Chain A
Amino acid sequence: MINSTQYAHIAAQNAMTSADLKEIAQAKKKDMAVRFGSVQDHAVHILVCGGTGCTSSHSEQIIEKMETIIAREKLHNVSIIRTGCFGLCAKGPIVIVHPEETFYVQVKPEDVEEIICGHIQNGKKVERLLSKDEQGELVDKLQELGFYEKQSRVALSNCGLIDPENIEEYIAMDGYTALDLVLKEKKPEEVVQMILDSGLRGRGGAGFPTGRKWLFAHQASGDKKYVACNADEGDPGAFMDRSILEGDPHAVIEAMAIAAYAIGADEGYVYIRAEYPIAVHRLQIAIDQARAQGLLGRNILGSDFNFDLFIRLGAGAFVCGEETALLNSVEGKRGTPRLRPPFPAVKGLFGKPTVLNNVETYANIPVIIRKGVDWFNAMGTETSKGTKVFALGGNINNVGLVEVPMGITLREIVYDIGGGIPEGRSFKAAQTGGPSGGCIPASHLDTPVDYETLMQIGSMMGSGGLIVMDDSKCMVGIAKFFMEFMVEESCGKCTPCRLGTKKILELLEKIVSGNGELEDIDKMEKLASTMKTTSLCALGQTAANPVLSTLRYFKDEYIAHVEEKCCPAGECKALIRYRITDACIGCTRCSKVCPVGAITGQVKEMHSIDPAICIKCGACIQACKFNAIVRR
């Protein structure tokens, strides 16, 4: 907890004023003009994606190599900027060269020489690194890609545009002016009213109106209050919050300061997964910079408002995404949920009133204040305002991060932005809401994506993971996958969740192993409804959703497993057999890769698989060049 001695070192000697903010913004905007199409001063800015996806495919080596070559060639007009995620992770690492805005994809360290010496020095674009549109035409600008056309970037507006480790670049994008504005011109209750009027709802899953949370915490009495940020993005397959923290950490800091001012808090915590080292690193840099500039600490921007912010690391527990479990974890305890009420807005962190919002929710706040409630209200649907960031993944061409206006249809996301399903396969289902959500079948592809509609069709908005599955995926298997996750992640505090998840998993295992009975399906439904009504927290209440939604739309698959003892998608091992057809020419490749020696046959003669030995690993299918092995 903070006391005045701790604050003393924070109170920066040259704390920033509103005038400084304007001055820095003006100067820095000039530096960055080339990124907005200006061709003055022959400046060239090379933007390299430094998100986790691109870093994993060696974007750091690309940057190193660029720096070496630029020094060697003495190119003083060229700057390299390591940005956050551009979104099109499937084509990473991504490099953008300004002023032309040339968009290079799948760049390797060995391509750097050609980009610098060919393109930058001699004006010859490296065509083989440009992406192609559906007609096979080269696309050399980011905006011309179909992937970006239907997106509108609000929470991600700075991601992939600025250097997240440089506070001045954030300030140049009007950063911290929203904080300045509320401190100068708005009373705390006016800020709360603005957020209420904006219609902003929580982006972490449940969609609770953010302004109401702030109002409750504002009204709660107490001399000490807290703000907290949920960056414990546990939904497997979701990386929206991580990308925001990696690409634009100052937006979250500014928003938390605004929230603190609105409710009367002076201390904040960001609870973030330890699995996100880059995000943690950049957020810490951003906090240190903000402190050094007096944007965190005492008398911020010359006002009498004090606020400081600290990071707390998670340690690998999905349940800590639940708000009361998260608060326990911030306090250093086991992350088990608390009984509600009292809600955190009344009695939260260390027993004090606390506002807890998710990263993406916070990222919307500064821009709402800057551009106004009406601007924000104009986007989205009647009940779901603004935009939503989704992490597109699974069997889809353009895997990546997208931000779309609420109310867009799933079909637009999957086909227009996502580029459809690879390998000529067809769409089977989209899973939203992670382990608490559900699978949406093809018949609902034209459903608008908003909080209410997704609930009605048995899924939920969730935090924004959107996993697309093609027709080779078994829906009973998917339900089992999520239930295994839930069994592992149930904290064990309440019985319905601890035992219910285990019992449902046992029934699913029985079904996929070919021993299921029809009454098992009824049993699962009954267990699910008990868990929904009696579990302590949202994790248990929603844990059975993947089972319920697959039962709702794919019941025939369950019945096929139970009655016909077959897996229509050909995925469940106990129910499939591998067989070699007469397309086999006896090349012996399959028998060489078989790890258990189940395949026999003479050279140039048809081979056969002994089902008693076969472990169904699928190595033979991968090895066969003649499509002579089938799985049924």
Chain B
Amino acid sequence: MEKGCQVQIKNQVLPIIEKNGYDRAMLIQILHDTQEKIGYLPQDVQQIIADELHMPLAEVYSVVSFYARFTTVPRGKHCISLCMGTACYVKGAEQLLERLERLLGISSGQTTNDGQFTLESCRCVGACGLAPVMSVDEHVFGNLKPDMVDGIIAQFSTEEQTL
């Protein structure tokens, strides 16, 4: 990472660590806040956190890699999250996943080459009454059938073009 860029990142991360009282017990909260600010948690960022909390980088990384919500690589512009809870599975979430994978040409957990979409499956968003459910960014779509998926994704792709 370039030096100027690193300074900029440090300026974003330091207030977060300060807000959480330089407390190691707050590490998970610090990682949440940092990821929300920067989008992901690359090694440089983890190093800053490790230095400020006076703990080894390995320990910070062990926490980052343990929890599913933390990512060390940037995500796409839109995040498609397909619920793979039991209720959604029973109502055909697997077919939705296949359709999405085919449509976007990526597998679950990957980002499209143009950086537009990240596809991931998640564990139960708790909207089981609407199963099967997927969300694109903060928009939730329920009672889905495989053929409805294309239209939803198109909606977000065209939104890009008109902007």
A482 to B86, CA, bound (A): 8
The contact string, 1 if C-beta is below 8 Å from chain B, for chain A 292-336, is 000000000000000000001111111000000000011111111
Query: Are B68 and A234 in contact, with the CB atoms below 8 A?
Result: no
Interface residue B140 (Cβ < 8 Å from any Cβ of A): yes
Q: Kindly list chain B residues whose C-beta atoms are within 8 Å of the C-beta of A593.
A: 147
With A316-B67, A317-B68: A431-B126 Cβ-Cβ less than 8 Å: no
Instruction: Write out the residue numbers on chain A whose beta carbons fall within 8 Å of the beta carbon of B122.
Output: 275
Number of interface residues of A (CB under 8 A): 58
Contact B66 A622 (CB under 8 A): no
Is the pair A399, B87 in contact by a Cβ cutoff of 8 Å? yes
Q: Flag the segment in A208-216, A236-244, A380-388, A443-451 that touches B.
A: A236-244
Would you call B123 an interface residue if the criterion is a C-beta within 8 Å of the partner chain's C-beta atoms? yes
Give B15-48 interface residues, CB cut-off 8 Å to A: 23-29, 31-32
Give residues 201-249 of A contacting B (CB, 8 Å): 233-239, 242
CB of B130 within 8 A of CB of A53, answer yes
With A236-B85, A332-B63, A467-B90 as contacts: A275 and B125 at CB distance below 8 Å: yes
Q: B99 in the interface, Cβ–Cβ < 8 Å?
A: yes
Contacts of A155 in B (CB 8 A): none
Q: In the bound complex, do residue A315 and residue B87 qualify as a contact, i.e. CB atoms below 8 Å apart?
A: no
**A393 and B68 in contact (CB under 8 A), knowing A56-B133, A593-B147, A622-B147?**
no
Chain B residue at smallest Cβ distance from A623? B147
| Residue in B closest to A276 when the chains form the complex, CB atoms | B126
Is there an interface contact between A393 and B131, defined as CB atoms closer than 8 Å? yes
* Bound form: Cα–Cα A473–B94 in Å: 13
Contacting pair B130 A57 (CB below 8 A)? yes
Residue B127, interface by CB 8 Å: yes
Min Cβ gap A250→B in Å is 21
Least CB distance from A83 to B in Å reads 16
- Whether A274 is near chain B, meaning CB under 8 Å from some CB there, is yes
Say whether B142 faces chain A, with CB atoms less than 8 Å apart: yes
The B interface, classified by DSSP as helix, strand, loop or mixed, is: helix
- A-B Cβ contacts below 8 A, count: 144
Decide yes or no: A237 and B146 within 8 Å by CB, A331-B25, A618-B95 being known contacts. Answer: no
Asked whether any CB of chain A lies closer than 8 Å to the CB of B102, the reply is: yes
Residues of B close to A332: CB separation below 8 A: 23-29, 63
Say which residue of A239, A312, A335, A467 sits within 8 Å of B67 (CB atoms): A335
In the bound complex, do residue B126 and residue A242 qualify as a contact, i.e. CB atoms below 8 Å apart?
yes
Question: Given the known A-B contacts A335-B67, A618-B146, are A431 and B86 also in contact in the complex, defined by CB atoms under 8 Å?
Answer: yes
A53 and B128 within 8 A (CB): yes
At the interface, yes or no: B91 with Cβ under 8 Å from chain A? yes
Contacting pair B86 A481 (CB below 8 A): yes
Q: Bound state CA distance, A316 and B125, in angstroms?
A: 11
Q: Does B3 contact A (CB under 8 A)?
A: no
Cα–Cα distance between A617 and B102 once the two chains are bound (Å): 11
Q: Answer whether residue B4 sits at the interface, using C-beta atoms and an 8 A cutoff.
A: no
How many B residues are at the interface, by size bracket?
35 or more
Q: B66 contacts A335, CB within 8 Å?
A: yes
Q: Mark B80-104, 1 if CB is under 8 A from A, else 0.
A: 0000111111110001001100100
Which residues of A590-629 have CB atoms within 8 Å of chain B's CB atoms?
593, 595, 617-619, 622-623
B129: CB under 8 A from chain A? yes
The digit string for A91-103, where 1 denotes a CB below 8 A from any CB of B, is: 0100000000000
Which residues from chain A contact B50 at a C-beta distance below 8 Å?
Answer: none
Q: Is the CB of A53 within 8 A of B127?
A: yes
The answer to whether B79 has its CB under 8 Å from any CB of chain A is no
Query: Chain A residues with Cβ under 8 A from B146's Cβ?
Result: 617-619, 622
B27 nearest CB neighbor, chain A only: A332
Report yes or no: B127 in contact with A617, Cβ–Cβ below 8 A.
no
CB closest residue in chain A, given B70: A315
The residues of B that contact A623 with a CB separation of less than 8 Å are 147
What's the nearest-Cβ distance from chain A to residue B5, in Å?
26
Name B98's closest neighbour in chain A (CB-CB): A617
Chain A window 481-495, contacts with chain B (Cβ cutoff 8 Å), 1 for yes, 0 for no: 110010000010000
B54 in the interface, Cβ–Cβ < 8 Å?
Answer: no
Are B129 and A315 in contact, with the CB atoms below 8 A?
no
Q: How far is the CB of A207 from chain B (nearest CB, A)?
A: 21
Per the bound structure, the CA–CA distance linking A242 and B89 in Å amounts to 20
Q: Are B90 and A315 in contact (CB under 8 A)?
A: no
With an 8 A cutoff between CB atoms, is B62 at the interface?
yes
Which B residues lie within 8 Å of A393 (CB)? 86-87, 90, 128-129, 131
Within B97-144, the residues touching A (CB, 8 Å) are 98-99, 102, 122-131, 133, 140, 142
Q: Which of A239, A333, A595 contacts B128 (CB 8 A)?
A: A239
User: Is the beta-carbon distance between A595 and B124 smaller than 8 angstroms?
Assistant: no
How far, in angstroms, from A266 to B155 measured CA to CA in the complex? 52
**Does A586 have its Cβ within 8 Å of any Cβ on chain B?**
no
Q: Which residues of chain B come closer than 8 Å to A482, judged between CB atoms?
A: 86
Q: What are 25 residue pairs bridging A and B, where the CB atoms are less than 8 Å apart in the complex? A: A52-B125, A53-B126, A56-B125, A56-B133, A235-B124, A236-B87, A237-B86, A238-B124, A274-B69, A313-B28, A313-B32, A315-B31, A316-B69, A391-B128, A393-B87, A393-B128, A394-B90, A395-B91, A399-B128, A399-B131, A467-B90, A593-B147, A595-B102, A617-B98, A619-B146
Given contacts A333-B27, A393-B129, A434-B86, 9 further A-B contacts (CB under 8 A): A234-B124, A242-B126, A275-B123, A312-B28, A316-B69, A393-B86, A395-B90, A399-B129, A481-B89
Interface pairs A-B: 8 shortest CB-CB = A89-B129, A393-B87, A236-B85, A316-B68, A315-B67, A237-B86, A332-B27, A56-B140
